[in-house]
Amino acid sequence: MNPEEAAANSTPIGNDHPIPANVEIDVTTLTEDSALALLQRRDLPPEIIHQIFKNAGVMKSRKVRLAVAAHPRAERRISLRLIREFYTADLARFALLPAVAADLKHAAAELLITRLPSITLGERISLGRRAPARVAAALLLDKETRVWQAALENPRITEAAIVKTLHRHGASDALVAFLCRHPKWSLRPEIRAALLLHEKTPLAFALAFARSLPPAKVRDILHVSRLAASVKECLKDALRPV
């Protein structure tokens, strides 16, 4: 390399100019701050990301590891390797970053779900409040009340996820009773329909939900509902025209 080329390649990278793919970085001088500054660039070439990844010193930083894994131009194998090593909190944060590819978010969510049996109650409560939708849905089946209550308040949890949980035999009686009284979710027609399918829905709530839905839909639900026969008869009687 001649002196002119060396000088060009050693010039600091500005935020207003494209980064050449063949630029050389002295990886021995990288600090956490300088690495993070580079990784803020969306046009950072994969070659530079790889150089940062190979720098054992700077990769001790959790912030740098997260930024490398989340960078849209990082090699997929690098991102996957890093997310498998993330702490639970970092994995949850990674899965919610807007720039992360959908398949990597999915992989992160699946990793979180596999870890649920081994993490502490406090971590599960924290995840319930802020985890991705798939993880929050999995936490609805947690045996600890505080965990699934936190998941129900998660802004990412969906009506469809709650309905799916109610269809599963793992849904606790406490969760069913709580949903019957919930000021938000108990008003949703699809959740009311799902509660009419569940054998543990109290009669008083089953009557209220049945009266709020179209009679034809309720009759279809009762054909496959797991409610006790006596409860079904009460509902049928309540729906008969006077």
The one-letter amino acid code at 177 reads: A
Residue 53, SS3 per DSSP: helix
Q: Which residues contact 85 (CB under 8 A, 6 or more apart)?
A: 65
Amino acid residing at 97: L
What residue has token string 């649920």?
Answer: 116
190 is written with which tokens? 């699809």
Cα 93 from Cα 66, distance rounded (Å): 9
Per-residue pLDDT of the chain (242 residues; tens, 9 = 90+): 443 343 334 434 444 455 555 556 676 788 999 999 999 999 999 999 999 999 999 999 999 999 999 999 999 999 999 999 999 999 999 999 998 999 999 999 999 999 999 999 999 999 999 999 999 999 999 999 999 999 999 999 999 999 999 998 888 999 999 999 999 999 999 999 999 999 999 999 999 999 999 999 999 999 999 999 999 999 988 888 76
Q: Where are the domains of the chain?
A: 1-85, 158-242
pLDDT at 239: 85
CA atoms within a 13 Å half-sphere pointing along the CA-CB vector of 136: 23
Q: How far apart are CA 6 and CA 10, in angstroms?
A: 6
In contact, 206 and 231? CB cutoff 8 Å: yes
In which residue are the tokens 């300088």 written? 34
Give the separation between CA 174 and CA 169, rounded to whole angstroms. Answer: 13
Please tell me the predicted confidence (pLDDT) of residue 100. Answer: 94
Return d(Cα 119, Cα 181) in angstroms, integer.
29
Q: What is the structure's pLDDT at 12?
A: 45
